[in-house]
Every structure is written in structure tokens, then in C-alpha cells.
Chain A
Amino acid sequence: DQQVKQNSPSLSVQEGRISILNCDYTNSMFDYFLWYKKYPAEGPTFLISISSIKDKNEDGRFTVFLNKSAKHLSLHIVPSQPGDSAVYFCAASAHSGGGADGLTFGKGTHLIIQP
């Protein structure tokens, strides 16, 4: 049972336009959500996160939106740049026993920025 789902394996966007990556989750215990970016032959790099008590978090060109009632989050990249071409993973975590659990990841979305 996949608890974090990224239904778009790939996404192609023109440079300068907005990239929107989507993620759905099923586990109501998740209280923290993160986006990671991954280049080939490298480990995932933390990008941006959001707590379940918020509905939006912004960091420069990156904004994450959380819709708890729909169990849906999205990552917006504006404007998209060639260096943004990578695989993006959505991840979720929960608190248990006072500490953070390990992350549950989606399968990733390969973002391709076209010049």
C-alpha cells in the first residue's frame, strides 16, 4: 500500500514558466511533508518542507501548498530554470514517541525544463 503517491512520472516545462509537482498521501498520521531534489548519482537534497499546521510555505522560487482535507500537496517552482531539471521526491513523516519517524517517499517525478 503506497502511502505517498506521485502520479506523474515525468513533467516537461518550458524555461521561465511555472512547474507544478503534485503529491497525494493516505496516512492521516503524517504531520510533516518535505520535497527533495535528486540529480543522477547523487543523494536526495532537501528542498523545502511544510508542517501540517500550515497551508503554505515559501522559499525563494519554491512554494509548497498543503491541502489537509484533500490529503494533497504541491510544489510550485517559479520561474523554472534549466538547473531545476531533476527528479523530485515528495516525502512525509510523523511524530511518534517524541521523535521524528523515518520518511515515507513517493516514487518521484522527473522534471525536465525545456530551453
Chain B
Amino acid sequence: EAGVAQSPRYKIIEKRQSVAFWCNPISGHATLYWYQQILGQGPKLLIQFQNNGVVDDSQLPKDRFSAERLKGVDSTLKIQPAKLEDSAVYLCASSLAGGVTYEQYFGPGTRLTVT
């Protein structure tokens, strides 16, 4: 079974530029999550999708971050304009919807460096 795919793996941009990350979840997983992991911290949830609808985006900085999941499969996360403090690893995860358990399966992440 193929895992969660993310691209690119690494990205370096200057502050005020824009950037986009892509995620393809595990086939059949209806729930998709984006997390931000700053160095030395645990992952922090940014947004949760159920199919193509947003379930929770309470921690997403909506003035600069946006995310979409068209057709309920792939998802993109965008930052515009980027700030220095956005330097982090952006992790995508997926899980079965409506399951009794809560296991989420993570992709390898995209390491973003803002200079």
C-alpha cells in the first residue's frame, strides 16, 4: 500500500515570496490533515479536511495561509506572503473517516526555509 506522498521535499524562499505544497493521501482515506512542525516542537495541526470540506482550521493563520482539497483527494497548502517564522517542516497526514481508532499516517514532510 502506497503511503502519503508530499512534494517538494525541500524548499528555500525569501520572505514575502509565496510557496505551495502538495499532498496525496493514502487511497481511500477521507480525512486529510496539514501540520506545521517547528524545530524542537511537536507537530501542530493547521487544518483538517473531511473529503473536500474543512472540519477544523482554527489554527490556520488565514491572513497568509490557505489550503484546498478539490475532489476530496489531493490537497495543496499555500503560504503568501511567507515570513521568517514560517520556516518549519510541513507534514501531511491522512486517516480513515469515521473510524473507531484515530491513527493518522504521515508523509515525509516538506522542509521550508524562509530567508
Which residues of A come within 8 Å of B, CB atoms?
A: 4, 32, 34, 36, 41-46, 49, 51, 89, 91, 93, 98-108
Contact = CB atoms under 8 A, between A and B. Distances in A.
Contact of B99 (A43, A44, A100, A103): A100
Interface in B25-58: 31, 33, 35, 40-45, 48, 50, 55-56
A44 B106 contact: yes
Contacts of A102: 33, 35, 45, 48, 56
B109 to A, nearest CB: 5
Contacts of A51: 101
A98 B103 contact: no
A107 B45 contact: no
A42 B105 contact: no
Mostly helix, strand, loop or mixed at chain A's interface? Answer: strand
Interface stretch (B66-74, B76-84, B90-98): B90-98
B108 A42 contact: yes
B31 A99 contact: yes
B14 to A, nearest CB: 24
Given A43-B106, A49-B103, A101-B48, 13 more contacts: A43-B4, A43-B93, A45-B106, A46-B103, A46-B105, A89-B42, A98-B98, A99-B31, A99-B55, A100-B31, A103-B33, A105-B44, A107-B41
B48 A107 contact: no
A107 B40 contact: yes
Contacts of B95: 100
B42 A99 contact: no
A20 to B, nearest CB: 19
A105 B43 CA distance: 6
A68 B101 CA distance: 18
Contacts of B44: 105
A43 B107 contact: yes
Contact of B102 (A41, A43, A93, A98): A93
Given A46-B105, A49-B101, A93-B102, A103 B43 contact: yes
